């Protein structure tokens, strides 16, 4: 289930480059307007698999209809749209009900800097036909992590597809993440032993001179004042596996940090 939300700002505005955390708060806020209890469940608990919480939804970055690229962000913006996707009926229903409860939201950056917006249209987007080999374009970067030992501690390390030594693990972890989401959505293990292939578009990588890594400044720690960062890859990609696994990625998001606005993709139509 996928929605396209079109929004209009109260006035011509500047949107900073790093807005993922604020946009995540908007999504949770809209769900909360329908059901505070379900919003708290998603935020605090989520759907558990092997001790890890999954929210089972994702959303895209903002796509601006106008404005221009400035030094500190996107300037003179008056309208935009974003996409939301989930296989979970409650996620979908509570978001829709929350939207129609008010149709307004605010992106809060600082006490002095906030942007008010009105949702002007909500469109349901039809799912594509899923096949064993499909091409997608990223609507938000794909983040994949692993544990990395530093001294006596194990820290979260974001895998970089462009580093040859990390590429195989990037693809393997991406597959394992899809298997966990499949189990949560369908309440059973994925039974197929189909092969799994994933590759970002080589021609696009050459065009970008290898620069497909996105470092997103996310949330600021109130005590230290430091920002957490989420690192992902953003490029068109091809995925070859069972169509049901591809469908899970399309609905929930590919990779991790989906509920923070990462891993959303759209099918590229064959020319």
122 forms beta bridges with: 5
pLDDT at 270: 65
Q: All domains of the chain, ordered by start, with CATH?
A: 2-125 (3.30.70.1890), 133-267 (3.30.70.1900)
Token code pair at residue 140: 């938000």
Q: What is the pLDDT of residues 55-105, one digit of tens each?
A: 889 999 999 988 788 888 888 889 999 999 998 888 778 888 888 787 888
According to DSSP H, which parts of 45-147 are helical? 89-102
Q: What is the largest CA-CA distance in the chain?
A: 54
CB 155 within 8 A of CB 148: yes
* Lookup result for tokens 């799912």: 127
- Residue-by-residue pLDDT tens, the chain, 271 positions: 899 999 999 888 888 889 999 999 998 888 888 887 877 777 676 676 666 777 889 999 999 988 788 888 888 889 999 999 998 888 778 888 888 787 888 888 877 778 889 999 999 999 999 999 999 999 999 999 998 878 788 888 999 999 999 999 999 999 999 999 999 999 899 987 889 999 999 999 999 999 999 999 988 877 787 889 999 999 999 999 999 999 999 999 999 999 999 999 999 986 5
| CA dist., res. 149 & res. 145, Å (int) | 13
């Amino acid at each position: 289930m996928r929605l396209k939300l079109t929004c209009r700002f109260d006035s011509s505005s500047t949107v900073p480059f790093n807005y993922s955390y604020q946009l995540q708060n908007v999504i949770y806020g809209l769900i909360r307007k329908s059901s505070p209890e379900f919003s708290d469940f998603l935020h605090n608990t989520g759907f558990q698999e092997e001790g890890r919480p999954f929210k089972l939804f994702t959303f895209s970055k903002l796509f601006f209809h106008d404005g221009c690229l400035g030094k500190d962000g996107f300037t003179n913006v008056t309208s935009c749209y974003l996409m939301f996707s989930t296989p979970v009926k409650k996620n979908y229903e509570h978001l829709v009900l929350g939207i129609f409860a008010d149709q307004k939201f605010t992106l809060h950056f600082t006490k002095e800097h906030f942007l008010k917006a009105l949702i002007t249209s909500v469109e349901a987007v039809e799912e594509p036909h899923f096949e064993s080999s499909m091409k997608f374009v990223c609507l938000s970067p794909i983040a994949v992590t692993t544990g990395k030992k530093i001294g006596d501690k194990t820290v979260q390390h974001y895998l970089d597809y462009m580093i040859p030594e990390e590429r195989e693990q990037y693809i393997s972890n991406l597959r394992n993440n899809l298997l966990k989401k499949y189990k949560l959505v369908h309440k059973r293990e994925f039974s197929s032993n189909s092969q799994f292939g994933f590759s970002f578009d080589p021609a696009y990588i050459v065009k970008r001179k290898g620069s497909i890594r996105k470092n997103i400044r996310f949330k600021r720690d109130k005590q230290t004042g430091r920002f957490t960062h989420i690192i992902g890859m953003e490029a068109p990609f091809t995925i070859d596996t069972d169509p049901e696994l591809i469908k899970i990625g399309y609905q929930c998001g590919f990779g991790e940090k989906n509920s923070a606005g990462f891993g959303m993709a759209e099918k590229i139509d064959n020319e």
